[in-house]
Amino acid sequence: MPPLAYFGIESSGLNLAVDLLILFVAVFYLSLVYWTYADARRRIQDPMLIGCATAASLFPFVGTIVYMILRPPEYLDDVRERELETQAAEARLHQLEEALCPHCDYRVEKDFVRCPSCLRKLKERCTSCSRPLDEAWTICPYCEADVPAPSPRTRRRRPAAPVESEASDSGGALAAEPGEETDARPVAATEAAARPRAARARRPRSST
């Protein structure tokens, strides 16, 4: 059986080259169909549109070229990642711009030194440039001055209550604590001085 001749050419070498070219075109066509389907899945979320793009690629080369013109410019993963980054940036910006006072939950800004609602002090000022400083900073980022370490707060001690004297101002006897011995000498001296006076008062006066 004579070999199949293309375009009336009976050369075996040329026929082999044409066979390889046809095989390459067929494989390339099937590869384009598969690439269109895989690329549509990464770029399109609707399954119906993915099927339409794959069906369009069945038209040799033309369908794939039309799909490449009309396909979305970004992958779905890139869109989701960009949305997450945008949400995270908005959350950080919202947290920086609309911070709350830790004492009264009033909305304050990052450069506030005192809360306008409860008047509590929120930040310290730099001793060099008077800019508000953050508690975690060890150096002022505006003037490069060193930030002094916060001094520990000491509790104020209450003054001791004055000890009231238990002795009376009239010279009376001191109140003795239970189990405490008292000095009886002042009392005895007072009684001895009072006895002559009482004896003189008892003597009858002589008549003249």
Q: Which residues of 142-161 are buried (b: 16+ CB within 10 A; e: fewer)?
A: eeeeebeeeeeeeeeeeeee
Res 185 pLDDT > 60: no
Q: DSSP label at 10?
A: -
In the prediction, which pLDDT does 166 show?
44
Residue 133 CB burial class (10 angstroms; 0-12, 13-18, ≥19): buried
Top-confidence range, 11-15, 77-81, 128-132, 141-145: 77-81
Q: Can you tell me the distance from the alpha carbon of 133 to that of 125, in angstroms, rounded to the nearest whole number?
A: 6
Tens-digit pLDDT profile for residues 19-67: 889 999 999 999 999 999 999 999 999 999 999 999 999 998 899 999 9
Is the pLDDT at 206 greater than 60? The verdict is: no
H or E stretch at 78 = helix 76-97
* pLDDT score at 202: 54
Q: What is the Cα gyration radius of the chain?
A: 53
Strand ranges inside the chain, DSSP E: 99-100, 107-108, 124-125, 132-133
The mean of the pLDDT values for the chain is: 75
pLDDT of residue 157: 47
- pLDDT bin (cut points 50, 70, 90) of residue 183 is very low
pTM given for the model:
0.43
pLDDT digits (tens, 9 = 90+) for 126-171: 888 888 887 778 888 888 888 877 655 444 444 454 444 444 444 4
Nearby residues of 55 by Cβ (< 8 Å), 6 or more positions away: 63
Least confident window among 5-9, 111-115, 148-152, 157-161: 157-161
Predicted confidence at residue 142, as pLDDT, reads 85
For residue 110, the number of C-alpha atoms closer than 13 Å in the C-beta half-sphere is 7
More reliable by pLDDT, 158 or 192: 192
